[in-house]
């Protein structure tokens, strides 16, 4: 179990904090609005009405003891920047910040944020990946660079095996499993020829996934 401090309980912060708590993580939620805190208190480990722009407040709340911090006040750059600097000063190991646009992201990265996300853009990227890729059936984000996709075998692969295609060397794609009709093979049989019923679960970088969906 990891511990998270989530600062800023707008729509994004609320959902992030609640989901982390539902996954069994220890979550401290902080917002300046007491009304929001009162309504949200039972959805996290602890919810506190406080101003995270004050480093002494964060110190008293024990922010330095948390594994990760989520700064979800993306519409207020000044507040995001100050809170991020406070968290870095306190030594929080990993800081995730919500940003409004690329300018915000660049500033927050320079201030020490380990990851900066623009939620609307990331959601659009995920949706477009599915909408524009007839062969992509499922998509899971693992990090900024890697993801897992379940994709139908391209027609050009019919009759060929994973060994023959040599996907790892040729594309940098790692086949985790193969679904053949209703049967799921883990690990995959690399010498089994593929056909129109074959679907592959692949771990790869997003650049590789983009190449695969064009096959």
**For residue 26, what is the domain's CATH number?**
3.40.50.720
Query: Which residue do the tokens 């406070």 mark?
Result: 86
Residues 113, 195 within the same domain: no
24-62 pLDDT, tens digit per residue, is: 899 999 999 999 999 999 999 999 999 999 999 999 999
Of 88, 117, 146, the domain-final residue: 117
Rounded Cα distance between 7 and 176, Å, is 37
Which pLDDT score, from 0 to 100, does residue 137 have? 47
Last residue of a domain, one of 84, 100, 117: 117
> Are both 100 and 152 inside the same structural domain?
no
The rounded percent of the chain whose pLDDT value lies above 90 is: 47
- Enter the pTM of the model: 0.61
Domain identity same for 24 and 97: yes
> What number of other Cβ atoms are within 10 A of residue 99's Cβ?
23
Q: Are 108 and 80 in contact (CB under 8 A)?
A: yes
Domain extent, residue 65, equals: 3-117
User: Is there a single domain that holds both residue 112 and residue 127?
Assistant: no
User: pLDDT, tens digit, for every residue of 114-128?
Assistant: 988 887 666 555 555
Of residues 109 and 145, the one with the higher pLDDT is: 109
In the predicted model, is pLDDT for residue 74 greater than 80?
A: no
Cα first-last separation, the chain: 40
149: domain CATH number is: 3.30.70.1450
d(CA 84, CA 32): 16
Q: Phi and psi for 117 in degrees, rounded to 5? A: -120, 145
Number of structural domains (the chain) is 2
Residues 66, 144, single domain; the answer is no
Q: Give Dmax (Cα) for the chain.
A: 65
Q: Are residues 109 and 132 in the same domain?
A: no
In the predicted model, what is the mean pLDDT of the chain? Answer: 85
Together in a domain, 73 and 30: yes
Predicted confidence (pLDDT) per residue in 132-174, tens digit: 444 444 556 666 677 777 888 888 999 999 999 988 888 888 8
Boundary residue ending a domain (86, 117, 148): 117
């Amino acid at each position: 179990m990891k511990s998270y401090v989530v600062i800023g309980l707008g729509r994004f912060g609320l959902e992030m904090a609640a989901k982390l708590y539902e996954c069994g993580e220890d979550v401290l939620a902080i917002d300046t609005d007491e009304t929001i805190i009162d309504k949200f208190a039972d959805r996290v480990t602890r919810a506190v009405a406080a101003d995270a722009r004050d480093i002494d407040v964060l110190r008293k709340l024990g922010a330095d003891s948390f594994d990760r911090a989520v700064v979800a006040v993306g519409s207020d750059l000044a507040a995001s920047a100050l809170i991020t600097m406070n968290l870095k000063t306190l030594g929080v190991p990993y800081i995730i910040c919500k940003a409004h646009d690329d300018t915000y992201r660049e500033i927050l990265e320079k201030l020490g944020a380990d990851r900066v996300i623009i939620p609307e853009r990331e959601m659009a990227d995920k949706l477009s990946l599915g909408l524009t890729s007839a062969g992509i059936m499922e998509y899971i984000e693992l990090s900024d660079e890697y993801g897992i996709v379940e994709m139908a075998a391209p027609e050009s692969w019919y009759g060929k095996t994973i060994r023959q295609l040599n996907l790892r060397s040729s594309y940098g794609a790692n086949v985790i499993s193969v679904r053949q009709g209703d049967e799921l093979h883990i690990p995959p049989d690399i010498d089994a020829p593929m056909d129109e019923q074959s679907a592959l679960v692949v771990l790869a970088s997003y650049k590789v996934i983009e190449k695969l969906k064009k096959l």
